[in-house]
Amino acid sequence: MSNITHKIPLDTLNTFQVSATAKHFIQIESVEQLLQDYKEIKQYPNRMVLGGGSNCLFVDSFDGLIIYPQLKGIKVIKETPEHIELRVAASENWHQFVQYCLNRDYFGLENLALIPGTVGAAPVQNIGAYGVEVESFITTVDCFDFSTGEQIVLNNEECGFGYRDSIIKRAAQGRYLVTHVSLVLSKKLFPVISYAPLKAHFSNNKNISATQIFDKVVELRQQKLPDPEQLPNAGSFFKNPVVSNQQYKQLLNGFPEIVAYPLEDRRFKLAAGWLIERAGLKGKTFGKVGVHKNQALVLVNYSDNDGKNILRLAETVIKKVFELFAITLEPEVRIFQDSMQ
């Protein structure tokens, strides 16, 4: 008996809450099921893995197979007086996992609080916030490779991490399904408060706790980012662009107040939200979609069921920013435009 179903609505499985349908759909409850169903799954060359649905935009319905993993569990792999290594199933909620670590005095992830999505999506996107990126903690990522039907284990180097990027993200769509992520965390806190809002808040505090960092990050994110359940969105829609030293100096001449962060290779990471705001788009509405009033990096869906209108808004933002700064913003959100026949 087949576990694959057909014409499944995706409205509640994406945080933009746009109307879309999966032509074919399979929910995966275990790695064993994955192995059993592999031959049938392989018959669908057009496939995608859908996790929490918090980093995707369905412009059309999906004319292929959506693989929806529901893999749960957290296990201790190794423990020393200084560190703990955990193996976490891919469908665990990321924010809840951060809380799990905080409650047990496993430190390092407190800056990554309230990032939507699953643990399995974290290495794919190489999530990061407030001066911390998840690649710093990942030891291995277990994947199922649909091109070979084999389970593989990628070490940190093999993941090919980049800014909001990884080899898993760069691979052909639907090739890999992350089943587990292993991370090493510290039992001693090394506070990261380099980002301006944290630095300002903790400037007179010499005994910072992980809980204080966690609480402040949650507060900052809630101030800027709308709750997808209250106002549908996919978090930061665009990547922060990285420019050369020369480019940065040219921009500085025209825009001395530009928000930028120096990188180790003499390049600069620009705040995409600032660029969008400076282009006059913050808080603007376009029909039933718009740019969020508190954080210009977030595109929101007020009451539109059509993902095409969100894509048109993204294209408008890209165009306006390019006209002003000669910089092309790249979406951080994955955009799916596979029309059903």
Residue holding tokens 């435009």? 337
Question: Do residues 50 and 268 lie in contact, with contact meaning Cβ atoms separated by under 8 Å?
Answer: no
**Which residue, chain included where needed, has tokens 């869906």?**
301
SS3 246: helix
Quick one: CA dihedral 16, 17, 18, 21, positive or negative? positive
Query: What does the alpha-carbon distance between residue 45 and residue 56 come to, in Å, rounded to a whole number?
Result: 20
Cα Rg, the chain, nearest whole Å:
20
Helix/strand/coil for 5: strand
Helix axis angle, 94-103 relative to 210-224, nearest 10°? 160
How far apart CA 134 and CA 146 sit, in angstroms, is 25
Catalytic residue list contains 332: yes
Identified catalytic residue from 91, 110, 164, 221: 164
Could you tell me which of 201, 196, 224 has the C-alpha nearest to residue 212? 201
Residue 235's alpha-carbon distances to 77, 197, 208, 231, 267, in angstroms, are 32, 19, 28, 11, 25
Tallying the residues shown for the chain, one arrives at 341
Provide DSSP, 156-200.
TGGGT-BTTB-HHHHSPTTSEEEEEEEEEEESS------SHHHHH
- Active-site annotation holder among 54, 91, 166, 236: 236
CB 150 within 8 A of CB 50: no
As annotated, the active-site residues are 164, 236, 332
